[in-house]
Amino acid sequence: MEEKQHIGTLFDRIAKTYDRLNHLLSFNADKRWRRKTVRQLAPCQKALDVAVGTGDLAIEIIRQEKAAQVVGIDLSTEMMRIGAEKAEKLGLTGRITFEEGSALALPYPDGCFEAVTCAFGIRNFSDLDAGLAEMLRVLRTGGQLVILEFSYPQRPIFRGIYNFYFNRILPGIGKRVSKDAHAYSYLNRSVKEFIHGEQMVVKLKEIGFQEPHLKTLTNGISTIYIAKK
């Protein structure tokens, strides 16, 4: 499977340094963003976290939703191995399961989750529409979709600072810490080329989600998209 080979192995390679770099490069803002993302969820018992990676969003769901069970799915076995270790250390092994598979062909029946989440995952999908359609399919009617993704600052001054940081500083630190030259220049490109803001809201509506809306975070560096089935 080409997708597994390209994206899965890219994340397998950077898995060991992924968490550290996330916190370092975002000055720990990623932790705040994930907390806020999970706060958008209504109480739920069965959630699917798509592109679960090293599990930080899934763990945050368990922290905030005392009755929730979370299934996490991802293409990268290494990212999930680290996630499973973290879950075990936190005593959450029975509440989060990590399963290998593609967001573009979710191995679950229609309507079986009350909530579907995805943090910093959709940008990597080779077919965004197919990934979103799968999320809609596995949600039960009335269930919630909450997506956290990088976007692009609107205010010119902040955008200038952002561009300088993203183009000049971040790839160098990413390369040095992860020892992977490609991964963090890929991050830079993938953020710029990806749709965001109102365009994404329109996309969610087209796919068939109800009441899609967004909340921007930290001057638009990231955005939370919220919708229902």
Ligand X SMILES: C[S@@+](CC[C@H](N)C(=O)[O-])C[C@H]1O[C@@H](n2cnc3c(N)ncnc32)[C@H](O)[C@@H]1O
Which residues here bind ligand X, judged by CB under 6 A? 3, 7-8, 11, 51-54, 56-57, 73-76, 79, 102-104, 119-121, 124-125
Of residues 54 and 178, the one with the C-beta less far from ligand X:
54
Closest contact distance (angstroms) between CB of 76 and ligand X is 4
> Which is closer to ligand X, CB of 19 or CB of 198?
19
Residue 51 or 96 having the CB closest to ligand X? 51
| Nearest distance from C-beta of residue 174 to ligand X, angstroms | 12
CA distance 81 to 3: 19
Q: Strand order of the sheet with strand 113-119?
A: 96-100, 69-74, 46-50, 113-119, 139-150, 222-228, 210-217
Assess contact for 214 and 226: CB atoms under 8 A: yes
Least distance (Å) from ligand X to the CB of residue 165?
18
**Toward ligand X, which CB reaches closer, 65 or 74?**
74
| Cβ neighbours of residue 202 closer than 8 Å, sequence gap 6 or more | none
* Beta carbon of residue 154, minimum distance to ligand X (angstroms, whole number): 23
Three-class SS state of 50: strand
Q: Which is nearer to ligand X, 102 or 223 (CB)?
A: 102
Residue 104 to residues 36, 91, 125, 132, 140: CA-CA distances in angstroms? 26, 31, 8, 8, 18
Q: Smallest distance from the beta carbon of 54 to ligand X, in angstroms?
A: 6
